[in-house]
Amino acid sequence: MLVLVGLVLSLASVDALTTFPPKFQVGQMNGDVVVKCNTSEQQVSWTQNGDPEPMAELVAEGQTLTILGLDLPAAGNYSCWAGTVLLDSTYVVVSSSREERMNISCQTESYHGSFRCSWTGPHSAVFRARLTHSDGSVGEWVLASSHHGQFGASFMDPSFCPFAEELQPLQLQLEGLSDTSYLNVSSHFFIRDIVRPDPPQNLTVWWQGEQLLLTWAPPVSWPLPKSYFALLYRLQYELPNGTQVDKYVEGVEETQLQVGTQRVRISCQDPYTNPAWSPWTAWQDLDATQQSQLRAH
């Protein structure tokens, strides 16, 4: 989990943004902002959020518009017109001075260079993000998906090599716009620190002589070869009296269970870094009847 300090996004009564505007301009609270109309027309008219009578104090001069004393009601979409023809638009927002903690969580299930980041924000906001890769190149902006204030975006570092040591962290730059305000934060992290494997697969319980054995396979998403990308497994099994026993094994895909085990599940992690454990597999029940049948076979 990456915990960053960011700028709060204020809310207002204008219509919520649905996508990142092609042009936007950030101004300071109570400061003046000059907006330019990208046109060869010398005389233009202006609207704020489609209203020809903006709530802001304005000074129009040719192709420029000066917003005096920018405040939250003065934020919004400023469009310049030649009669009924739309010439250009600029979304004006306020750079907030307040700070709050902002949680950004990035995670990947393997060492393939791709990962996903998620965070929370105001329902009315839109976000975009981009990645500065380990080789110094800057990726394209990615528009974040949103659902009830939950935002997320997926990324790929084409310069990442799973067999090489990460010497430089990745940088994630995040920009957000609410109806009135602007956010810009950056985070730095290594892919090795955000790996959370998928659960192991193909759990099988069987008898070998008088021994009750459990076998499994690594997650299908985990890289090969196994000798290089070893996994630490955490086995948890439950005895008839309800006691749960934890057992750790590394680099193997088979272990002995205590006879009488009622059910079992397993998780895994990379033992050479400090990432999160994978989710548990579902409990696999193994009652006395099943054990008798297994022994008979």
Q: How far apart are CA 52 and CA 47, in angstroms?
A: 4
Q: How far apart are CA 273 and CA 106, in angstroms?
A: 16
Q: List the domain range (segments joined by +) for residue 68.
A: 30-95
- Predicted confidence (pLDDT) at residue 201 exceeds the cutoff of 80: yes
- Predicted confidence (pLDDT) at residue 108 exceeds the cutoff of 50: yes
Q: How far apart are CA 169 and CA 188, in angstroms?
A: 6
Q: State the CB neighbour count (10 A cutoff) for residue 18.
A: 8
Q: Do 130 and 72 share a structural domain?
A: no
In a domain, 18, yes or no: no
Q: Do 216 and 185 share a structural domain?
A: no
Q: What is the pTM of this model?
A: 0.77
Q: Do 221 and 169 share a structural domain?
A: no
Q: How far apart are CA 120 and CA 105, in angstroms?
A: 10
Q: How far apart are CA 73 and CA 71, in angstroms?
A: 6
In a domain, 84, yes or no: yes
3-state secondary structure of 265: strand
Q: Worst-scoring range by mean pLDDT, 137-146, 208-217, 287-296?
A: 287-296
Domain limit, last residue, from 166, 193, 220: 193
Total tally of structural domains belonging to the chain: 3
Phi (first) and psi of residue 287, to 5 degrees: -80, 180
In a domain, 15, yes or no: no
CATH number for 186:
2.60.40.10
In this prediction, residue 16 carries a pLDDT of 59
How many whole angstroms from its chain centre is CA 225? 28
pLDDT tens digits, 140-152: 999 999 888 899 9
CA distances from 218 to 162, 215, 252, 259, 278 (A): 17, 10, 10, 24, 11
Confidence band for 294, pLDDT divided at 50, 70 and 90: low
Q: Do 179 and 205 share a structural domain?
A: no
In a domain, 251, yes or no: yes
Phi (first) and psi of residue 293, to 5 degrees: -65, -40
In a domain, 11, yes or no: no
In a domain, 63, yes or no: yes
In a domain, 163, yes or no: yes
In this prediction, residue 295 carries a pLDDT of 57
Q: Do 106 and 90 share a structural domain?
A: no
Q: Region 162-169: what's the mean pLDDT?
A: 90
The closest of 117, 99, 100 to 108, measured between CA atoms, is 117
In this prediction, residue 234 carries a pLDDT of 97
In this prediction, residue 17 carries a pLDDT of 77
- Predicted confidence (pLDDT) at residue 2 exceeds the cutoff of 70: no
Task: For residue 225, say if its preceding peptide bond is cis, omega within 30 degrees of 0.
Answer: yes
In a domain, 21, yes or no: no
Tell me the range of 161-165, 257-261, 265-269 where mean pLDDT is highest.
265-269
pLDDT tens digits, 49-84: 988 887 778 999 989 999 999 999 999 999 999 999
CA distances from 44 to 39, 53, 81 (A): 9, 14, 5
In this prediction, residue 62 carries a pLDDT of 87
In this prediction, residue 118 carries a pLDDT of 95
Average pLDDT, the chain: 86
Q: Do 144 and 127 share a structural domain?
A: yes
Domain limit, last residue, from 68, 95, 122: 95
In this prediction, residue 59 carries a pLDDT of 92
